[in-house]
Amino acid sequence: MDFEPREPALPSARGPISEAITEYLRSTGPPPDDKALFGADPLGDDPQLALYMCYELHYRGFADVDADREWDPDLLRVRAALEQPFLGLLRDAAHTHKRADEAVDELLVEPVDGNGVSHFLQHEGELWQLREYAAQRSLYHLKEADPHAWVLPRLWGRAKAGMAAVEFDEFGGGRADRVHARLFADLMADLDLDPSYGHYLDATGAEALAVVNMMSLFGLHRALRGALVGHFAAVEITSSPGSRRLAQAMRRTGAGPAAVHFYDEHVEADAVHEQIVRREVVAGLLEEEPHLDGDVAFGVDATAYLEDRLAERLLDAWRAGESSLRIPV
């Protein structure tokens, strides 16, 4: 297995919206009609896959799809039509906090009776469940930190410097073998999974797609820079304790040294990142742009909302002895 930067194949469609986009990208169909979006569940498989394909054109794209399609006006129109109900749903569903300090302070408190995915995997998870978790997460971790890089030109001062410092670590600190996406590919190989970029797109459910799509949505829109910073804070603050539990799960199940190393690396690195994100990125942003306070809180809450949905899908399936994937590995 390798980790070559190849463009992934177009995925199989999951409904009329993603089918129209697939055919258009293959040049075998007309431009998608955004009228087909009316009445579709914004969090459903078809709209989420369609949105993922539109966003992926800004990353590595797809095999045999012209790179110029990234700025195709018809696809941008459809993307906007997909984004509006997705963002609207998130704003309606994720409004626990009005202030960034309240949202961030709550992230610092570890629940006494934790019942999340990392707790389950730490104590009772089996190797097949760890493999499924890695496959679900691979759509992000093989592009780890990429969506967050888009916010850099939209920040300045302390916020930009702090964000750049964290991103430098995420991208290996100047060493290709320590790039976190590379480390995750090594983890996948240890788990006997295919580490090719985008390989498990067809297998991944809408809940995991929504988490990745949220990052791209926040990253690609300057107007959502506060939400992106809130999301980033949520990820970095909760990563270290969660990674510690996942490292223990990997050790307990004999997953392999590279699988353990990925999470060990995040225990140490993200404990430092948490301090930088809170004290420099979030505080620096709100010092310069205090009107983004509510947006930062929204980014934290939207992340929790979508992560909770993904956790529910995983745990419900696993506790029933079933696969959480659309196509079991």
For the stretch 268-318, pLDDT in tens is: 776 788 889 999 999 999 999 999 999 999 999 999 999 999 999 999 999
Cβ(173)–Cβ(105) under 8 Å? no
Do 175 and 247 share a domain, yes or no?
yes
Q: Which residue has the higher pLDDT, 225 or 112?
A: 225
Q: Decide which of 92, 110, 139 is a domain's last residue.
A: 92
Residue 51 resides in a domain: yes
**pLDDT given at position 93:** 94
Q: pLDDT tens digits for 123-164?
A: 999 999 999 999 999 999 999 999 999 999 999 999 999 999
Same domain, 112 and 167: yes
Which of these three, 92, 127, 147, is where a domain ends? 92
- Helix then strand count (H, E) for the chain reads 14, 0
Residue 112 pLDDT level (bands cut at 50, 70, 90): low
49 and 134 both lie in a single domain? no
The pTM for the full model equals 0.95
Domain membership flag for residue 9 = no
Whether residue 120 is found in the same domain as residue 57? no
- Taking the C-alpha atoms of residue 296 and residue 292, their distance in angstroms, rounded to an integer, is 6
pLDDT digits (tens, 9 = 90+) for 244-270: 999 999 999 999 999 999 999 888 776
- Residue by residue, DSSP assigns 152-181 as GGG--HHHHHHHHHHHHHHTGGG-GGG-HH
CB atoms within 10 A of CB 20: 20
Q: Name the nearest CA neighbour of 248 among 124, 107, 76.
A: 124
Q: Over the stretch 59-87, which tens digit does the pLDDT of each residue have?
A: 999 999 999 999 999 999 999 999 999 99
Q: Which residue has the tokens 């399936």?
A: 317
Same domain, 59 and 166: no
Summary mean pLDDT of the chain: 94
pLDDT tens digits for range 285-296: 999 999 999 999
Task: Looking at the structure, tell me whether residues 273 and 308 fall in a common domain.
Answer: yes
Q: What is the DSSP letter of 115?
A: -
Is 11 within the bounds of a domain?
no
What are the tens digits of pLDDT across the range 177-225?
999 999 999 999 999 999 999 999 999 999 999 999 999 999 999 999 9
- Domain holding 84, by residue range, is 16-92
pLDDT of 3 reads 52
Polymer length in residues for the chain: 329
In a domain? residue 73: yes
State pLDDT tens for residues 24-49: 999 998 888 878 788 899 999 999 99
Instruction: Indicate if 133 and 88 belong to the same structural domain.
Output: no
Q: Is residue 39 part of a domain?
A: yes
- pLDDT average, residue stretch 101-117: 84
- 266, part of any domain: yes
Count of domains observed in the chain = 2
Q: Are residues 21 and 65 in contact, defined by beta-carbon separation less than 8 angstroms? A: no
- CATH number where 252 lies: 1.20.910.10
* Cα dist from 16 to 21, 49, 79, 193, 207, whole Å: 9, 11, 15, 30, 19
Instruction: Decide: 101 and 279 in contact? Cβ < 8 Å.
Output: no
Domain boundary among 92, 109, 132: 92
pLDDT, position 270: 67
Same domain, 88 and 28: yes
Question: What CA–CA distance (Å, rounded) separates 152 from 165?
Answer: 11
Count CB atoms within 10 A of the CB of residue 80. 11
Are the beta carbons of 259 and 190 closer than 8 angstroms?
Answer: yes
Q: Are residues 36 and 111 in the same domain?
A: no
Model confidence at 1, in pLDDT bands (50, 70, 90)? very low
Report the amino acid identity of residue 194. Answer: D
Dump the DSSP string for 41-89: -TTSHHHHHHHHHHHHTTTT--TTS-GGGGG-HHHHHHHHHHHHHHHHH
Task: Say yes or no: 137 and 78 in one domain.
Answer: no
Of all residues in the chain, the percent with pLDDT exceeding 70 is 97
In a domain, 10, yes or no: no
One domain for residues 179 and 147:
yes
Kindly state whether residue 326 falls inside one of the protein's structural domains.
no
Q: Does residue 111 sit in the same domain as residue 225?
A: yes
Give the pLDDT mean for 12-29: 94
- Mean pLDDT of the 165-177 span: 94
